[in-house]
Amino acid sequence: MNRRKEPGTARDLDIRVQWLILLRWIAAGCLFLVITGLRFALHVDLPLVPLYAGNLALILLNGCYALAFSRIQSAKRPGRWIARVTALANAQISLDLVLLSWLIHFSGGIANPVVFFFIFHMVIASILLSNRNAYLQACFASAVLGAVTAGEQAGLLAHYTLSNLPPGAFPLLSWGEFFARYAALVATLFIVVYMCTTIVNKLRAREDELETTNIKLQDKDKIKSRYVMTVSHDIRGPLSVIQSCLRVVLDGYTPEVSGKSREMIERASLRTERLLAYVRDLLDLSRMRAAEDMDKTRLYLPDLLSRAIEQLRPLADGKQLEVTVANETAAAFIMASEEAMTEVIGNLLGNAIKYTPAGGRVALRIRDAADPDTLELAVADTGIGIPAGELPRIFEDFHRAPNAKEFEPDGTGLGLSIVKHIVEAYGGNIRAESEEGRGSTFTVDLPRG
Ligand code: ADP
């Protein structure tokens, strides 16, 4: 679990940059339609070559951004990654402003209402960038647009009037009118950046608070897990001693105990056995939750399955269950710790055996998942199944479905919690499908080794 707190501007940066790239594809498509429609449907006198060139530049640049972004993504490393995506976002917005100024220049200059599109860019910059960079983009937008349009006013650059655009052209303005429009636009850009950054800052501060609270809660949860771990560890020792003392008596290593006394000791032994299983599960779960990191080695999954089956064979044979294994992949390696995976497989196979009536079948299958980096392990049985209403709750701590309690009173309701925790700690996931009375299938996706 990555508990590093990201700076506000970096949070969800990848999603926002992707969104910006998508938005630009839409903008490029719309721009093409507008230029083509104005020129060929409405016969507006547009300088087609520079406008289409601007459109093409937008498409090519966006392709480059998408490529650069996917490269940065694939080498995702905190720190440098944030700096690179931020630089990419800054570059995109700056180049967009240049392109927008280019398009405005060839379509009537500052008189063209499209100049208000600069406002969208300021909103995007305020959402995507730091406050400082958003204000710098506002300065840059004012400078580029100012240079182009003032250049037109001064006669240094050509002015393109769309002479036959109804209801009229975009003529060259008087200097007074030009300054009034330019000043109003620049003021709007800065006001928009100020308003957006104020709102975005508040939202970021709220997100920061939530994240801090979340981290504190996780820390508290770890302290609780450590406490449960210590207590269950301390209880397990004396319990094991009590259990072995009772076994010594029951196995006949002491003078014979019979009648009511033996019956009492047998009951005590059974209860102690259950209590021990419960304490062991509690210890396992709290140990997993308190752990900071999980070990990882390359493991051959079929070997782990064979060992688990060997261990549980007496239980399966006792109920005449048919246990089969199918390996449908050429590379059945995973990255995990052997101890943790033995726990996962032991729990799933143990449950399948436990909840399947005599004469049933249990099938284990390994195969390639849809994602090439993932391996899929399925444990299917023809057992009692899980009622539909219970399915969403079976991974909760201590939860046992009523039909399971009836079929097999022994159980702690902690096995699947442990399994889920381990699988997710390795970046995998687990799901269950079941039909009451017909059987269940637990499918685990694990990262390949
Ligand atoms: P336990 O088996 O000790 O009760 P688990 O956490 O392993 O605890 O399982 C939780 C619950 O999920 C079980 O009590 C049972 O209701 C349900 N369950 C798990 N595996 C199966 C299975 N193979 N078939 C039917 N129900 C199952």
- With a 6 A CB cut-off, is 413 part of the ligand 1 pocket? yes
The encoded tokens of residue 207 equal 């997100």
Ligand 1 geometric centre to CA of 419 (Å): 11
Whether 232 has a pLDDT exceeding 70, the answer reads: yes
Whether 7 has a pLDDT exceeding 50, the answer reads: no
Whether 8 has a pLDDT exceeding 70, the answer reads: no
The rounded percent of the chain whose pLDDT value lies above 70 is: 95
Task: Calculate mean pLDDT across residues 63-67.
Answer: 94
- With a 6 A CB cut-off, is 401 part of the ligand 1 pocket? yes
Ligand 1 geometric centre to CA of 350 (Å): 9
pLDDT of residue 234: 92
Q: Which atom of ligand 1 is nearest to the CA of 408?
A: 4
What is the C-alpha to C-alpha distance for residues 266 and 176, in angstroms, rounded to an integer? 103
pTM given for the model: 0.64
Residue 384 corresponds to which amino acid?
A: I
Q: Please tell me which of 13-27, 152-166, 391-405 the model is most confident about, judged by mean pLDDT.
A: 391-405
Ligand 1 geometric centre to CA of 394 (Å): 7
Ligand 1 geometric centre to CA of 123 (Å): 52
Residue owning the nearest CA to atom 8 of ligand 1: 413
What is the C-alpha to C-alpha distance for residues 297 and 323, in angstroms, rounded to an integer? 27
Whether 45 has a pLDDT exceeding 90, the answer reads: no
Q: Where do runs of H (alpha helix) occur along 291-337?
A: 301-318
pLDDT of residue 269: 95
pLDDT of residue 3: 45
- With a 6 A CB cut-off, is 439 part of the ligand 1 pocket? no
* Length of the chain as a residue count: 449
Task: Calculate mean pLDDT across residues 229-242.
Answer: 92
297 sits in which H/E element: strand 297-300
75 — pLDDT class (breaks 50, 70, 90): confident
Q: Over the range 194-222, which residues count as b (16 or more CB within 10 Å of their CB) and which as e?
A: eebbeebeeeeeeeeeeeeeeeeeeeeee
- Nearest-10 Cα torsion for 74, 77, 82, 86: -30
288 — pLDDT class (breaks 50, 70, 90): confident
Lowest-confidence region among 39-53, 156-170, 204-218, 334-348: 156-170
Residue owning the nearest CA to atom 20 of ligand 1: 351
Whether 1 has a pLDDT exceeding 60, the answer reads: no
- With a 6 A CB cut-off, is 418 part of the ligand 1 pocket? no
Whether 182 has a pLDDT exceeding 50, the answer reads: yes
Selection from 434, 406, 233, 275 nearest residue 416 by Cα: 434
Query: Rounded mean pLDDT of the chain?
Result: 91
Task: Calculate mean pLDDT across residues 102-131.
Answer: 92
Selection from 373, 388, 359, 386 nearest residue 441 by Cα: 386
Selection from 376, 379, 354, 366 nearest residue 442 by Cα: 379
- With a 6 A CB cut-off, is 362 part of the ligand 1 pocket? no
Q: What pLDDT digit, counting tens, does each position of 252-268 carry?
A: 998 888 899 999 999 99
pLDDT of residue 4: 43
Domains with residue ranges and CATH for the chain: 6-217 (no CATH), 222-290 (1.10.287), 297-447 (3.30.565.10)
What is the C-alpha to C-alpha distance for residues 361 and 316, in angstroms, rounded to an integer? 10
Task: Calculate mean pLDDT across residues 89-94.
Answer: 93
Cβ neighbours of residue 292 closer than 8 Å, sequence gap 6 or more = none
pLDDT of residue 76: 61
Whether 167 has a pLDDT exceeding 60, the answer reads: no
Ligand 1 geometric centre to CA of 393 (Å): 10
Whether 78 has a pLDDT exceeding 90, the answer reads: no
Candidates 280, 347, 351: which one to mutate for ligand 1, based on the most atoms within 8 Å of Cβ? 351
